[in-house]
Chains A and B, each alone.
Chain A
Amino acid sequence: SYVLTQPPSVSVAPGTTANIPCGGNNFGSKSVSWYQQKPGQAPVLVMYFDSDRPSGIPERFSGSISGNTATLTISRVEAGDEADYFCQVWDSTGDLYFFGPGTKLTVL
């Protein structure tokens, strides 16, 4: 099993930067993906391969990895960014998928 950790909540003011961390081991051997989920909706992929954005995702969204922490960064946060954000990794060795518990982003 592979454990990912995320803080339950992050709060930021509009127009500022939100950093949402995801802790795990050996990120170097795995790729991290991120999903945004608004209430009552399905998750939406916002980042893959650690730092690649799908088409249609604003450039304000970026991803990075440093050591044992992957981070989703949202610049110039807008009210519409308020959502739950989940990190996810794929263990290619066991061909298994793991999700973090999610972080609720609140825009103050």
Chain B
Amino acid sequence: AQTVTQSQPEMSVQEAETVTLSCTYDTSESNYYLFWYKQPPSRQMILVIRQEAYKQQNATENRFSVNFQKAAKSFSLKISDSQLGDTAMYFCALDSYGGSQGNLIFGKGTKLSVKP
């Protein structure tokens, strides 16, 4: 079975500082995608960053970057220069089938608060 675990239910960070959110996963598939989605209070799910398992290079999107450790099945999200607008729930998600089937498996989420 595929699972995604986020061990930090809540985190807080000061504005302009850096924070890392943790995620571990389990899958027996060799081809898969990993995602971080953000859900602000407006509740819409927004893609933050995506990583293909076959790519060794860690994905980056502006202030957001990941540390993908395939052997350890770890996929952490680093947010640099945190901004007040980063306050949201963050969900780690796994697509075990390389896009060939329907569902993403989501973790329980980490609630991030950015404080001024």
Do the two chains belong together in a single complex?
no
Taking beta carbons and an 8 Å cutoff, which residues of A are in contact with B? none
